[in-house]
Amino acid sequence: MSLAVEARLGTIVVGKNQPHFPNGFLFNDPDHLDSQTDSPLMRLSLQHPLTGQAMARCAFVVRDGVGYSPAAAPFGSIEFGEDVSPDELIYFVDALVEEVRQAGCQRIRLVNYPNCYAPTQTNRLIYALTESGFNLVANTPTQYVPVSDAPLTTRMHPSERQRLRKAQRAGLVASRWDNPCVETVVKHIQKGRAQQGYPLTIQSEYLSRLLRQFSHEFPVFVVRDGDSIAALCVCVRVRYDILYTFLPVSHPDYRTLSPMVLLIDHLYQYSQHTGIDLLDLGTSLDSNREHKPSLAQFKQNMGAVESPKLTFELKLM
C-alpha cells in the first residue's frame, strides 16, 4: 500500500495493541474480547490518520480453517463510525479478508449486530460486504422496544396490560438486584432453563466470570414475591444507549401471574431513567434454535418490533 493511500484512508493496525474506538459495542471491546476465548484472536482496525483513534474494527478467531467473528458473543462483525466513507469501509473489508486469508482460512463468517443498533452503518455494511462477494447465510431477527418518554403500557396489547396489573395486585415487585450473589444467579438460571426445557447456551463458569468481571455491564434484574424469586434476567449494557435482555427465566410456580411482563415493564422504566434508547428483548427461538411463534407474539404484545440480525459468509479461493 502506498503512503498516499494510507494518508488518505488511514492505517490498518493488526495485533493486540489496538487504537481506541469511542462509544463502541461491549462485545467488540478489548476486555470482553479477551474473555471470549482462550484461542488466539486476530484483531485489526482502521486508524484515523489525524486523531489516532479507530474508525473501524473487527476481531476473529480461527477454528477448523474458518475465521469467525465473534469468537463467543451474540455478535461481532465490522463496527465503524458514521463518518467512515464508502472507500474507507471497502478498504477495511478488503484488509480483513486478506488478514483472514493470511491466517490460512478457507472461509470467513461474520455475525452482524442487529440492524436497529446502528441502522445507517448496517445498511452501508451490507452493501460493502455484498460488493466484496459475501453471501447472506442467515437472518435471526431480534425484537426490540424503542424507549420514549411514554410508559410501556401505551405500546402493550390490552391482554399484557391486564397481566401487568394482576402481577402488581399480587404483590410482586421488580427491581435491579444490586451486588447479587453470582452463584445464586447462575443456579437460578440453570434451574429455570432446565424447567423450561431450554439448554443453557453459555457455560455456567463463563457466565459467572462475566457477572464478576463486567458487573456494571451485566446488570441483574429480579421479580420477587417476598423472599422468593418469581423471575430473573441477566441483561447486557451493550452500549451506553442499548440494553439487551440476555438470560430471562421465570419460575413455573408463578406462571399464572406472568412475572416476566412485570420485569420487562421495569426494564423499560429503568431504561427511561438511565439514558437507554433501545431495549432489546432478543431473538425468539425454541430449544432447537428454531423460530418460536408464541414467544415472538408475546414480545410483540409487549410493544416490541422486529429487526433483522444478519450473518454473512465469504469463501476464499
Q: Which amino acid is at 81?
A: G
Four-CA torsion 18, 20, 23, 29, nearest 10 degrees: 30
CA–CA–CA angle 107, 100, 121 (5° rounding): 90
The CB-based long-range contact list for 265-269 (8 Å cut-off, 24+ gap) reads 265/152, 265/153, 265/164, 265/174, 266/174, 266/175, 266/221, 266/223, 267/221, 267/233, 267/235, 267/243, 268/145, 268/147, 268/151, 268/152, 269/151, 269/152
What DSSP state is assigned to residue 238?
Answer: E
Are 302 and 261 spatial neighbours (Cβ–Cβ below 8 Å)? yes
Give yes or no for residue 2 having a pLDDT over 60.
Answer: no
CA 141 to chain centre: 12
Per-residue pLDDT tens for 253-293? 999 999 999 999 999 999 999 999 999 999 998 878 889 99
pLDDT above 70: percentage of residues in the chain = 97
Q: Alpha carbon of 35 to those of 25, 113, 215, 290: distances in Å? A: 15, 19, 14, 28
Band (1; pLDDT cuts 50, 70, 90): very low
Any bridge partners for residue 313, and if so which? 109, 135
Give yes or no for residue 3 having a pLDDT over 50.
Answer: no
Give yes or no for residue 249 having a pLDDT over 50.
Answer: yes
Write b or e for each residue in 109-136: b if 16 or more Cβ atoms lie within 10 A of its Cβ, otherwise e.
bbbbbbbbbbeebbebbbebbeeeebee
Residue 64 CB neighbours (<10 A): 8
Q: What is the mean pLDDT of the chain?
A: 94
Per-residue pLDDT tens for 184-203? 999 999 998 888 878 788 99
Q: What phi-psi label fits residue 143: left (phi over 0), alpha (psi between -120 and 50 degrees) or beta?
A: beta
Give yes or no for residue 4 having a pLDDT over 70.
Answer: no
Band (243; pLDDT cuts 50, 70, 90): very high
C-alpha cell at 50: 489525524
Give yes or no for residue 94 having a pLDDT over 80.
Answer: yes
Per-residue pLDDT tens for 103-145? 999 999 999 999 999 999 999 999 999 999 999 999 999 999 9
The beta-strand segments (E) located in the chain are: 11-14, 41-47, 54-63, 66-69, 79-80, 107-111, 135-139, 142-146, 173-176, 220-225, 228-239, 242-250, 278-283, 305-307, 310-315
CA 79 to chain centre: 13
Are 66 and 106 spatial neighbours (Cβ–Cβ below 8 Å)? yes
Using CA atoms, how far apart are residues 232 and 107, in angstroms rounded to an integer?
Answer: 39
C-alpha cell at 109: 463468517
Are 115 and 122 spatial neighbours (Cβ–Cβ below 8 Å)? yes
Q: Whole-model pTM above 0.75?
A: yes
